Amino acid sequence: MVSEIKNNYAYVLFSNEEIVGTFCIKDIDSLSELTIDPKSNYLFQIALLPEYQGNNYGSEITDFARSFAIEGKKTIYLDCWAGNEKLKGYYLNNRFEYLGDFPEEDYFISIFKYN
């Protein structure tokens, strides 16, 4: 079950009353060098305890984020290090659209969206 912390964008994922992960969603108007839809959402700082990874909790997070964006009639974006092929494949398998790789200081990020 996902529950909201009172700062309006940080969320905690529970399993049997134990915290197993966290993530954040915030409003954005820009993302790297990419032109995005105004007043979009950004899913970031996704973290799951290692023993809960691979158990569909990540899908619960992305499903929640998509529903959050749909309810707000917004597009949601997320990113990851461009070299993380496993995570990039995971986002593609969870219906996010790959938009490309963009420079960030001394590395590249891969950006994805869902609308």
Per-residue model confidence as pLDDT tens digits over 18-50 = 999 999 998 888 777 778 887 889 999 999 999
- Rounded Cα distance between 110 and 37, Å, is 17
Contact partners, residue 84, CB within 8 Å, separation at least 6:
110
Nearest to 114 by CA among 71, 58, 66, 82: 66
Q: What is the pLDDT of residues 39-86, one digit of tens each?
A: 889 999 999 999 998 898 999 999 999 999 999 899 999 999 999 999
Predicted structure pTM score: 0.85
Mean pLDDT, rounded, for 82-103: 94
Q: Which residue has the higher pLDDT, 5 or 109?
A: 109
Tracing tokens 């092929």 back to the chain, one arrives at 85
